[in-house]
Amino acid sequence: MSILGWGFRADKQIYQSKKPLKLTSKNGETVEFQQLVSNLPSANIKEKLNLHPLLFNGVLQSMYYYKGDFSDKFKIYYGREIFTFKDEGICSLDWVIDPETNEDFKSKYENNHPKDWPRLFPRTRFLSDEELSLRKHDSESTKPIVLILHGLAGGSHESLIRNLAELLTTGKNHGKFDVVVNLTRGCGRTKLTTGKLFNALAIEDIHEVLLDLKKRYPKRPIYASGFSFGAALLTNYLGMYGDENLIKAATVVGCPFSLGIASDVMRTLWVGKLMNPALVGFLCKVVKNGLGVLNAENPELFNKENLAKAQQFKVFEDFDNMFTCKTAGFDTAKEYYAKGSPENRLGAIKTPYLSISSSDDPATGKYLPIDKFEANEHISALETNLGGHLAFVTPQREFWCVKVIDEFFEAFEEIED
């Protein structure tokens, strides 16, 4: 499998432990996790994956994912809740809500939008106090929740996440799942209120959200799905919390298992050189928008001079060297990458975990820690040889990976906790 592969009929391969993880179905039968994954219709390794014929390599797949127009598809509506952490920082929780008429949506948007808050993405509005109260006092519900963690410059507005949300809430499951996208500090038009930036080891933020969800909804199972940077964050969380985590089953797509290798790939491959400036621009925008708060807490690091320097950077590793590593407690980006790489924590994962990736991913490279996958019976890794980074765009302009995720969570709904 090569990062420079060409074609539109992809092969699939699954890496799993030979030691079975035995689960119990709701009718009392024993189910092996490895077989459960192999039996997913979209993961069948005996069948080719048919991708869009005009997107015949990982570069085209990835560029179409980032630049393609999906405004005519996956018209998901979100209601936003602001979640406050113990340190007074905030994140946004974008809950999938029922579609609304233009007039109704506009009225609710204007009535509930906080003063001095950025405009939100299309079909996204703040929830009213009444709506929030209903969501926070629903302790008898048993409807499963899927928590989604977005990529580095992403959010609930991404076409891939909207596709997954649509499938989970209005697809064949007919609304079986409740979906919420966790927009981390400073992302998705979320304000920074403290001097803390997000990083790949910010697992306490995830845990605080999960604790609150479990307190609100003690009878509802929680699943999680992470994409790209969100996949790294989710993997680190699952490994660092082990048996204590609150997630029933998890999926990741396009996870950079080695942050150092991903950085090298993005810096050296020409497509990475195209993607890097956009990522740097996003990261600088986060700092610029929150500069007042950041400067008040750390004026030596966060100031106009350093921001001006960062805005000239061409690769995100330079940004990480200046800002991210320092706020994460490291001296250099390379040290941060070495300590923050998700592959370090694969052995400690105790939650059924499915990784989906492509060997022609131009953002992470073809590196996979296969030996670590096969050493942990809780892990299953599905790899294709075509599909790019997060893309896997089909002829129908949909994302194959979300079908796998939907089938995976649906299968786990037949498994006891």
- Contact (Cβ atoms closer than 8 angstroms) between residue 216 and residue 240: no
Question: Within its chain, how far is the Cα of 354 from the centroid?
Answer: 13
Phi, psi for 97 (deg, rounded to 5):
-120, 170
Cα 97 to Cα 50, 90, 119, 225, 318: the distances in Å are 32, 21, 18, 19, 39
Provide the H-helix boundaries in 119-190.
129-136, 159-170
Residue type, 74: F
| Residue 228 among the catalytic residues | yes
| Residue 25 among the catalytic residues | no
Three-state DSSP at 95 gives strand
- Contact (Cβ atoms closer than 8 angstroms) between residue 339 and residue 331: no
Three-state DSSP at 398 gives coil
- Contact (Cβ atoms closer than 8 angstroms) between residue 76 and residue 171: no
Burial tier of 73 (Cβ tally within 10 Å: 0-12, 13-18, 19+): middle
Residue type, 109: Y
Burial tier of 223 (Cβ tally within 10 Å: 0-12, 13-18, 19+): buried
Given the residues 355, 361, 380, 406, select the one marked as catalytic.
361
| Residue 157 among the catalytic residues | no
Given the residues 225, 228, 357, 380, select the one marked as catalytic.
228
Cα 95 to Cα 8, 89, 127, 182, 344: the distances in Å are 35, 20, 9, 9, 32
Nearest alpha-carbon partner for 222 in 236, 212, 233: 212
- Contact (Cβ atoms closer than 8 angstroms) between residue 198 and residue 188: no
* Beta strand spans in 175-267 (E): 178-183, 222-227, 250-253
Given the residues 150, 341, 389, 406, select the one marked as catalytic.
389
Q: For residue 95, what are the contacts with CB-CB under 8 A and spacing of at least 6?
A: 78, 79, 80, 81, 127, 135, 178, 179, 180
Helix 58-67 to helix 270-289 angle (10° resolution) is 30
**Could you list the active site residues?**
228, 361, 389
